[in-house]
Amino acid sequence: MNRSLALMVSGAALVMALVADAAGNPSIDPANSTIIATFKQENVPVDAPFKRFNGRIDYDPALTTASKAALEVTASSLDLGSEDYNSEVRKKAWLDSGTYPTVTFISTAIKPGAAGHFDATGILTLKGKTQTLTVPVSVSKAGTATSFDGELQISRSYFGIGDEEWNDVLDDKVRVKFHIIE
Amino acid sequence: MSSETDALALPAVYTRTAVALHWLIALLITCGFSLGAYMVDLHISPRKVRFYAYHKWIGITVLALVLIRSVWRLTHKPPPEEPMPRWQLRTTHLTHYLLYALLIATPLCGWLDTSAAGIPVVYLKLWQLPDLVHKNRDLAKVLVEIHGFLAWTLLWVVLLHTAAAFKHHFIDHDSTLKRMLAWRRS
């Protein structure tokens, strides 16, 4: 607990350094990767992909302690299916992408799991707030490409996304599914 | 749809099921159309999202009821037509066919549109209906236009249908409207 608190405090500096590395030397293939947020409105699941992101994953199954991952997602690239909704979600009450243009996930620990799986613990920074979370990831290889698949769940209220008036029609929980090809 | 040859053997009014379905569908499409016309220009708000959901539930209900009604119509003979000129009979039949076609096509097109837009229908917030097409934004843009066109066409055909019913009732003084108001055992 203390360690994660300490990580949160030094989070900002760490995030900046690692994202600079990720952005400067990305290893993933964004064109073939997907990061999709699924929110529920009136119990209707709606998929909204992020169109722009990049990052770097250094994963060695034999040496997980040295493995790391850093992803940087352009907040304004969230596509809800229509320009009306896309510009709405960029506003201050939602993602406020003008003030917080990027969403980042920087790993702090990679722990091996069952064959083809690992747990990535890291810091998610979204709309100026950070959260440490652990995401189960499955890895598979196809030819020279490696794919990393997983899903995490975030709380809109924790990150201050969306006014309270929306709480009746929009679930607090938002699932984020990723399929990253490297 | 009707055969006039054995008209004498037919009862003078519609079955209770047909009457109930007729008025229930009439009420639902009035609500569905008004809500649809109102909600499209609203600014993004929780209310708008809710109205879209209600509009879709109404549409799906209409689609189901119209399909039941079509089967009922094909299996239960309607009352004989009132005596009227041939052109009126033809217009009546054409209008009825058009009503059935539009009552199926309009909600179906709405369902196709919302599928293409990537927003599935969750009927009454309980049951997620299958998507009819894959997500495709360009297709959704075309389908929403067609859905609107069909809905407005339906409005005009319903107005013609209503005007004709009033004309028969108040000018011709025949029982065209009455037979859709009376109850008969099915």
- Test the A interface: residue of B43, B51, B122, B142 with most A CBs within 10 Å: B122
Pick from B167, B148, B137, B44: nearest CA to B106: B148
Shortest CA distance from A44: residue in chain B: B122
Interchain CB distance below 8 Å, A168 and B46: yes
> Taking a C-beta distance cutoff of 8 angstroms, is the pair B96, B78 a contact?
no
CA distances to A55, A180, B77, B80 from B73, in Å: 62, 55, 7, 13
Q: Which residue has the tokens 């300490």?
A: A6
pLDDT score recorded for residue A142: 86
- Test the A interface: residue of B44, B60, B134 with most A CBs within 10 Å: B44
Specify the CATH number for the domain of residue B157: 1.20.950
Instruction: Flag whether B68 is in a domain.
Output: yes
- For chain A, say whether B122 makes contact (Cβ under 8 Å): yes
Average confidence (pLDDT) over A78-96: 94
Instruction: Flag whether B18 is in a domain.
Output: yes
Q: How many CB pairs under 8 A join A and B?
A: 42
What is the C-alpha separation between B186 and B168, in angstroms, rounded?
25
- For chain B, say whether A83 makes contact (Cβ under 8 Å): no
Specify the CATH number for the domain of residue A151: 2.40.128.110
pLDDT score recorded for residue B184: 56
Instruction: Flag whether B186 is in a domain.
Output: no
- Under the banding of pLDDT at 50, 70 and 90, the label for residue A1 is very low
- Number of Cβ atoms within 10 Å of the Cβ of B173: 8
Q: Is the pLDDT of residue B115 over 50?
A: yes
- Under the banding of pLDDT at 50, 70 and 90, the label for residue A13 is low
- Structural domains in chain B (count): 1
* Domain of A166, in residue numbers: 2-181
- Structural domains in chain A (count): 1
- Number of Cβ atoms within 10 Å of the Cβ of A130: 18
* Domain of B176, in residue numbers: 7-180
Interchain CB distance below 8 Å, A42 and B120: no
Instruction: Flag whether B75 is in a domain.
Output: yes
- The region of weakest confidence among A23-27, A152-156, A160-164, B123-127 is A23-27
pLDDT single digits (tens) A140-172: 998 889 999 999 999 999 999 999 999 999 999
Shortest CA distance from A87: residue in chain B: B44
Q: Is the pLDDT of residue B78 over 70?
A: yes
pLDDT single digits (tens) B165-186: 999 999 988 888 888 887 655 4
pLDDT score recorded for residue B6: 46
- For chain B, say whether A87 makes contact (Cβ under 8 Å): no
Average confidence (pLDDT) over A15-33: 71
Instruction: Flag whether B185 is in a domain.
Output: no
- Closest Cβ opposite residue A45 in set B117, B120, B135: B120
Q: What rounded mean pLDDT belongs to chain A?
A: 88
pLDDT score recorded for residue B172: 87
- Enumerate the residues of chain A whose CB falls inside 8 A of the CB of residue B122: 42-44
Strands (DSSP E) contained in chain A are 34-41, 44-49, 53-58, 68-74, 102-112, 117-126, 129-142, 145-155, 173-181
pLDDT score recorded for residue A14: 52
pLDDT score recorded for residue A3: 54
**How close does chain A come to B117, measured CA to CA in Å?**
7
Question: What type of residue is A83?
Answer: E
